[in-house]
Homo-oligomer: A and B are copies of this chain.
Amino acid sequence: MSLIVQKFGGSSVANAEGIKRVAKRIVETRKAGHEVVVVVSAMGDTTDELLDLAKSVSPLPTGRELDMLLTAGERISMALLAMAIKGLGVEARSYTGSQAGMITDGRHGSARIVDVTPGRVREALDVGAVAIVAGFQGFNRGTGDITTLGRGGSDTSAVALAAALDAEVCEIYTDVDGIFTADPRVVPTARKIDTITSEEMLELAAAGAKVLYIRAVEYARRHGVTLHVRSSFNNNPGTIVRNAREGDTMEEPIIAGIASDLTEAKITVVGVPDIPGKAAQIFTIVASTDANIDMIVQNVSSAATGLADISFTLPKSDGARVLQVLENNKADVGFTSLQYDDQIGKLALVGAGMRTNAGVSAKLFTALFEAGINIEMISTSEIRISVVTRADTINDAVRVVHSAFGLDSDVEALVHGGTGR
């Protein structure tokens, strides 16, 4: 008998129908002899509806009260799910984040987990019950206040419980069949990935793959939790995400997949004096806004002027804020002007070992060149190559790169042992 954590998102429990379907799946897992801990999000649009209500009574609701409000969402879904499971003849008990021992710091709206003490969850399992835990929420032991974990919080709750309970696997249920080599809506021939390392998954998630949140993957990697990303609509095996193991080292560069992202913008700081410490000064200013900076490129400075340009990408939602703070420090930094471009697209090619194989970059750039797609920025990491192009060419870019690396499912697979279907 092994312990399995199953996480269901808001779209899986959007209505009574969905709740009953999810309950059935949980009961099947329990009846197969496993101990089951379920982490559930708020139903469908509940969170957005609650946020709208908050806005309608207060222009700037405080974090403590917003968290109190939003946590009502999972309270509803978890209680209904427990009822539905009991209706199928299996004992089930629901627990709030605080009852389940999800202890966090005090940052309302984006709390970090500092400890997990799932004693009551363990007791429920010991008497044969399924434990249903509210995702996304925790509590600050110092103040006794309720907190929420922020975006992707339920995935993180599930992974944290899996780690604390030493679960065999943490199953993340979603509305797609798993992680794909590219977004299937962009690349119809994209293939489901059977197994991917946490490191690769992190890069894919950072590059815009939406199925898993970076934070949950990071937590899983740090605690050695194996994730299984799969569909709540069928019983097909999904994608296993686990830490790299000894035997994983291969000589061939492995391309795990391609991610693209249209939510970022580019800011260029024009005419920065090319003297030491200027880049540090700029990014200290940017960091003060808490914006998530991704790619950074500094042009070679012009010998004639002694001025350089520094470009970086960031979420469009952070754009105005960062422009403002830079503008406020213009004289201090001494740059000439700012440019803002929100018509960019980002493509990232992710796979272990690509850094040691120069051919990968060459193949990527060639494929884009042959398709007439201009590359505006390039950045590389241990297992990722990212490029920025015009937004309206990004889908074409994903398709040609997907083909160039032989990832299309009608081509004999070079990596990951076939389509897995």
**Which A residues have a C-beta under 8 Å from some C-beta of B?**
16, 19-20, 23, 50, 53-54, 56-62, 64-66, 68-69, 71-73, 75-76, 78-84, 86-87, 92-94, 96, 99, 120, 144
Whether A75 contacts B69 by the Cβ 8 Å rule is: yes
| Apart from the given pairs A57-B87, A72-B72, A99-B144, 16 other A-B contacts in the complex at a CB distance below 8 Å | A16-B56, A50-B76, A54-B80, A57-B84, A61-B83, A61-B87, A62-B86, A65-B80, A65-B82, A65-B93, A65-B94, A66-B83, A68-B78, A68-B82, A69-B83, A120-B144
- Which listed residue, B53, B58, B76, B144, touches A87 by the CB 8 Å rule? B58
Query: Which residue of chain B has the shortest Cβ distance to A59 in the bound complex?
Result: B87
Query: Which residue of chain B has the shortest Cβ distance to A57 in the bound complex?
Result: B84
Q: Which residues of B contact A50 (CB under 8 A)?
A: 76
Report if A19-B78 is in contact (Cβ < 8 Å); known contacts: A62-B83, A64-B93, A68-B94.
no
Query: Which residue of chain B has the shortest Cβ distance to A93 in the bound complex?
Result: B64
Whether A68 contacts B75 by the Cβ 8 Å rule is: yes
Query: Which residue of chain B has the shortest Cβ distance to A61 in the bound complex?
Result: B83
A87 to B84, CA, bound (A): 39
Q: Which residues of B contact A144 (CB under 8 A)?
A: 99, 120
Whether B84 contacts A58 by the Cβ 8 Å rule is: yes
Q: Which residues of B contact A53 (CB under 8 A)?
A: 16, 76, 80
Q: Can you list 26 contacts pairing A with B, beta carbon distance less than 8 Å?
A: A16-B53, A16-B56, A19-B57, A23-B57, A53-B80, A54-B79, A57-B80, A57-B81, A57-B83, A57-B87, A58-B83, A58-B84, A58-B86, A58-B87, A59-B87, A61-B83, A64-B93, A65-B79, A65-B80, A65-B82, A66-B83, A68-B78, A68-B82, A69-B76, A72-B75, A99-B144
Q: Which residues of B contact A62 (CB under 8 A)?
A: 83, 86
Q: Which residues of B contact A20 (CB under 8 A)?
A: 57
Whether A69 contacts B80 by the Cβ 8 Å rule is: yes
| Nearest CB on B from A263, distance (A) | 29
Query: Which residue of chain B has the shortest Cβ distance to A88 in the bound complex?
Result: B58
Q: Which residues of B contact A84 (CB under 8 A)?
A: 57-58
A54 to B16, CA, bound (A): 9
Q: Which residues of B contact A87 (CB under 8 A)?
A: 57-61
| Nearest CB on B from A96, distance (A) | 8
A298 to B159, CA, bound (A): 67
Most chain B CB atoms below 10 A, which of A16, A56, A57, A61: A57
Q: Which residues of B contact A92 (CB under 8 A)?
A: 65
| Nearest CB on B from A333, distance (A) | 37
Whether A71 contacts B80 by the Cβ 8 Å rule is: no
| Nearest CB on B from A380, distance (A) | 46
A50 to B46, CA, bound (A): 13
| Nearest CB on B from A14, distance (A) | 12
